[in-house]
Amino acid sequence: MKKHYRTVIQSIAILLQNANFKGFFTGRIYQGSSKGVCVPGLNCYSCPGAVGACPLGSLQTFLGSRPFKLPYYVVGLLALFGAVLGRAVCGFLCPFGFIQELIHKIPFPKRKLRTFPFDAQLRYLKYAVLLIFVITLPIILGLTPAFCKYICPAGTLGGGVPIVLLQSGKLNFDTGFLFGWKIGILIVCLAVCLIIYRPFCKYICPLGAIYALTNKVSLYRMRPQADKCINCGKCASACPMQVNPAINPNSAECIRCGKCVGICPTEALYLGFADRGVLTEKPAPDRS
């Protein structure tokens, strides 16, 4: 994959999902008809620029409704996005994921961490956040939207901070404990981005957890060509999500960034929708 190809798509995606530019000057949340449509990535409904709805916020709203309503529309959209793209949504279309990447590129005196003790175990935390804050608390206790209200740093960055700034002219630290709590989460998350690649995506994001469940069956996926692989290990070394594409090409952690494809010396990895004659297993030797 060309070096700047994905960056261009990410930039276009964040602009399209936040195309209400005047909202950043007025502080007013866009209420047009497109606000009834969920965008694929994590983009806060309350962001002054947002022209669509966040799928997680919409899902929690339905699950916490009284009387309870099954969120057919939201679940259907998430299933569609997942079935077609899987975690390519995270790698190409998620605004907060893009912001984390940009921060990670900032030079920092400490070395960048690829892995550390309990990294693998922490990857399961996002599934717990999905189960508890997105599903259980809204359904059982009616705490809606629990994840957006108590955790989501994307909502704080895109919605809370701009609105407070525009309404008060400066940060008002008397906005309450909850706002301070969310600001703290945001600061920690962005600070960790300096040394760890997309930490929110790896360990916390419940939307990433949903798409991770579809990664192995999505139409857009990694299609390794085993007959070309020379086991050099370059793809695993290049992966910022610490996936070994030669062993587990459609790992739940793969965000389809394409770095492994670009560095493979034998073009043994193919990322796309079509099989293109891919051999996933090495052919048996000709004994004739």
- Residue 159 maps to a domain: yes
Query: Does one domain contain both 52 and 138?
Result: yes
Query: Does one domain contain both 61 and 186?
Result: yes
Query: Does one domain contain both 177 and 268?
Result: no
> What range defines the domain where residue 201 resides?
5-212
Nearest to 279 by CA among 266, 263, 265, 260: 266
Count of domains in the chain?
A: 2
Kindly report each contact of residues 189-194 with a partner whose C-beta sits within 8 Å and lies 24 or more positions away, as own/partner. Answer: 189/100, 189/153, 190/100, 190/103, 190/153, 193/100, 193/103, 193/104, 194/103, 194/104, 194/106, 194/108, 194/110
Query: Does one domain contain both 97 and 186?
Result: yes
- pTM of the entire predicted model: 0.89
Query: Does one domain contain both 131 and 239?
Result: no
- Residue 197 maps to a domain: yes
Query: Does one domain contain both 187 and 249?
Result: no
Query: Does one domain contain both 208 and 233?
Result: no
95 and 41 Cβ atoms separated by less than 8 Å: yes
User: pLDDT by residue for the chain (288 residues), tens digit each?
Assistant: 566 889 999 999 999 999 999 888 887 889 999 999 999 999 998 888 999 999 999 999 999 988 888 889 999 999 999 999 999 999 999 999 999 999 999 998 877 888 889 999 999 999 999 999 999 999 998 888 999 999 999 988 877 676 666 665 555 445 678 888 999 999 999 999 999 999 999 999 999 999 999 999 999 999 888 889 999 999 999 999 999 999 999 999 999 999 999 999 999 999 999 775 454 444 444 443
Q: Which of 212, 235, 254 represents a domain boundary (last residue)?
A: 212
Q: Which of 212, 245, 271 represents a domain boundary (last residue)?
A: 212
- Residue 287 maps to a domain: no
Query: Does one domain contain both 157 and 36?
Result: yes
Q: Which of 184, 212, 240 represents a domain boundary (last residue)?
A: 212
Kindly report each contact of residues 280-287 with a partner whose C-beta sits within 8 Å and lies 24 or more positions away, as own/partner. Answer: 280/223, 280/224, 280/225, 280/226, 281/226, 282/226, 282/227, 283/227
Query: Does one domain contain both 67 and 202?
Result: yes
Give strand pairing partners of 196. 113
Instruction: State the first-to-last Cα distance of the chain, in angstroms, to the nearest integer.
Output: 39
- Residue 285 maps to a domain: no
Query: Does one domain contain both 14 and 126?
Result: yes
Query: Does one domain contain both 104 and 187?
Result: yes
CATH of the domain at 274: 3.30.70.20
Query: Does one domain contain both 229 and 173?
Result: no
